[in-house]
Amino acid sequence: MPNQQALIAPQELLIIGAAVKTGIIEQLSAKPMTIDELALAIGADSRALWVVTEALEALGYLSKDGNMLRLSEEALDMLYNTESPNFTGFSFMHRYNVTNSWTHLPEVIKSGQPSPREDAAENTKYFMAAMGHSAKEHARAVAGFCLTGLGDSPKVLDIGGGPLTYARAFAAGGARVTVQDLPNVVDYMSKFLNEDENIEMFPGDFNVVLSPDVFDLAFLGNICHIFGERENRELFKKVAAVLKTGGKITIVDFVRGTTAMAAVFGVNMLVNTKNGGTWTLNEYGAWLGDAGFSSPELNEVGGRQILTAWKK
Ligand SMILES: C[S@@+](CC[C@H](N)C(=O)[O-])C[C@H]1O[C@@H](n2cnc3c(N)ncnc32)[C@H](O)[C@@H]1O
């Protein structure tokens, strides 16, 4: 049934997102400023800046001391205080970028091509923050489920595991983890890794190569929706080649035909990728079977759908 409650503009996201994009937040995180000082610092129109900062104040992101603007305590907690229960960092900026792509859906429906993408370096930072944030709550449960039956200190290959949230949960469960991700992501994220974490990072495009080792478990967290049938079939074959016999593959993704979210998320992949999407259990079964795996089992853990199959 259509959800009329959902038919509202994401105004707060668009306002705070624009405040981050234009540098309002960064400038005010350094020091309080008047509207005119801020306008000069970020090269903005004073009238427009006044209207937007009034809204930011009304929404609780800014506070005013005389004519000086500053970030509110709540905004400081949310954006910068990693110890705060309200900390999100800048993870919402990924949603802001995605919302931008979604507004091109009418053109995408006609052309069949994804929305134009802005390749800004800070988007890697936002993407990693968003993925890390969304996995935080259920990573332990998912990792525990995936590690079941693998014995002591299994070797895990976490493909597309750049945000490190799942890798840390695997390591906490006793695994030795190799995280493979794109070189720019490994470059950025390896700074956040401590030497004693039992996690190493391998830079590499999974469409080209997988980390050359023998693993007990390959974890594919939300990567099968990025590409189409050909790439997934190839990836599953590469996974089979780096798993020991009897080794396990676990895939976290929305499975089309089993949840409404899979169809909706399919639209996200339509606007953001050339041939990504969400796939049915039958499709996964055929692709995994042809790559040498058993039929996949579908489970739900911590609200995430997980497919599990074993290398024959
Ligand atoms: C949607 S995120 C999922 C992150 C994490 N696995 C999770 O489930 O929260 C996809 C991840 O795959 C990585 N990725 C995308 N294409 C890749 C490729 N061709 N080779 C290696 N990593 C890739 C991205 O950089 C990103 O870290």
Render each residue's pLDDT in the chain as its tens digit; 312 residues: 888 988 888 999 999 999 999 999 999 999 999 999 999 999 999 999 999 999 999 999 999 999 999 999 999 999 999 999 999 999 999 999 999 999 999 999 999 999 987 777 788 889 998 998 888 889 999 999 999 999 999 999 999 999 999 999 999 999 999 999 999 999 999 999 998 999 999 999 999 999 999 999 999 999 999 999 999 999 999 999 999 999 999 999 999 999 999 999 999 999 999 999 999 999 999 999 999 999 999 999 999 999 999 999
48 in a domain, yes or no?
Answer: yes
Distance of CA 162 from the midpoint of ligand 1 (Å): 6
Q: Are residues 144 and 75 in the same domain?
A: no
ipTM of the complex: 0.99
Query: Are the CB atoms for 200 and 177 separated by under 8 Å?
Result: yes
Q: Same domain, yes or no, for 157 and 44?
A: no
For ligand 1, whether the C-beta of 223 sits within 6 Å is: yes
For residues 73 and 143, membership in a common domain is answered with: no
The verdict on residue 125 lying in a domain is no
Answer whether 222 contacts ligand 1 (Cβ < 6 A). yes
Is residue 88 situated within a structural domain? Answer: no
Q: Answer yes or no: is the C-beta of 276 below 6 A from any ligand 1 atom.
A: no
Q: 120: which 2 tokens?
A: 């800004």
Beta carbon of 91 within 6 Å of any ligand 1 atom: no
Instruction: Mark whether 15 and 148 lie in a shared domain.
Output: no
Alpha-carbon distance 212 to 232, whole Å?
19
CATH number reported for the structural domain that contains residue 55 in this entry: 1.10.10.10
* Domain contains 27: yes
> What is the position in ligand 1's atom list of the atom closest to the CA of 128?
27
* CB-ligand 1 contact for 103 (6 Å cutoff): no
> Which residue lies with its CA nearest to atom 26 of ligand 1?
160
pLDDT at residue 304, as a whole number: 96
* Minimum-distance ligand 1 atom for the alpha carbon of 132: 9
Co-location of 212 and 75 in the same domain: no
Buried b (16+ CB within 10 A) or exposed e, 85-119: eeeebbbbbbebbbebbeebeeebeeeeebbeeee
Asked if residue 135 and residue 63 are part of one domain, the reply reads no
Task: Assess whether 66 and 190 both reside in one domain.
Answer: no
The rounded Å distance from CA 160 to ligand 1 centre is 3
Q: How far is the CA of 18 from the centre of ligand 1 (A)?
A: 26
Expressed in angstroms and rounded, the spacing between residue 205 Cα and the centre of ligand 1 is 10
- Pair (298, 224) in one structural domain: yes
The CA distance from 103 to 274, in Å, is: 17
Ligand 1, pocket-test mutation among 136, 219, 223, 273, most atoms within 8 A of CB: 223
Q: What pLDDT is stored for residue 9 in this prediction? A: 82
- Compute the distance from residue 124 Cα to the ligand 1 centre, in Å: 11
**Per-residue model confidence (pLDDT) at position 187:** 96
Interhelix angle 281-290/229-242, nearest 10 degrees: 50
What is the best residue among 181, 217, 252 to mutate for testing ligand 1's pocket, by most ligand atoms within 8 Å of CB? 181
Q: Which of 67, 82, 97 is the last residue of a domain?
A: 82
- pLDDT score at 157: 98
Is the C-beta atom of 19 inside 6 A of ligand 1?
A: no
For residue 105, the model assigns a pLDDT of: 97
Q: Supply the residues annotated as catalytic.
A: 225
Residue 111 has a pLDDT of 97
Is there a domain that residue 22 lies in?
Answer: yes
Q: Is 226 near ligand 1, meaning CB less than 6 Å away?
A: yes
Shared domain check, 151 and 221: yes
Q: Of 25, 55, 82, at which residue does a domain stop?
A: 82
Domain housing 34: 4-82
Question: What's the pLDDT at 19?
Answer: 98
Are 152 and 286 in a shared domain? Answer: yes
Instruction: State how beta strands 199-203 and 215-221 pair.
Output: unpaired
Evaluate whether residue 37 is within a structural domain: yes
The verdict on 166 and 284 lying in the same domain is yes
Does 146 lie in the same domain as 55?
no
Number of domains in the chain: 2
Q: Is residue 14 part of a domain?
A: yes
Residue 67: per-residue pLDDT: 94
CATH of residue 253's domain is: 3.40.50.150
Task: Find out whether the beta carbon of 142 lies less than 6 Å from any atom of ligand 1.
Answer: no
Maximum Cα interatomic distance, the chain, rounded to a whole number of Å: 71
CA distance 73 to 78: 9
Q: Is 160 in the pocket of ligand 1 (CB under 6 A)?
A: yes
Instruction: Identify whether 119 is part of a domain.
Output: no
- Our CA angle for 260, 254, 232, nearest 5°, is 135
Q: Do the beta carbons of residue 162 and residue 189 sit within 8 Å? A: yes
Q: Which atom of ligand 1 is nearest to the CA of 252?
A: 8
pLDDT computed for residue 106 by the predictor: 97
Residue where a domain terminates, one of 82, 108, 141:
82
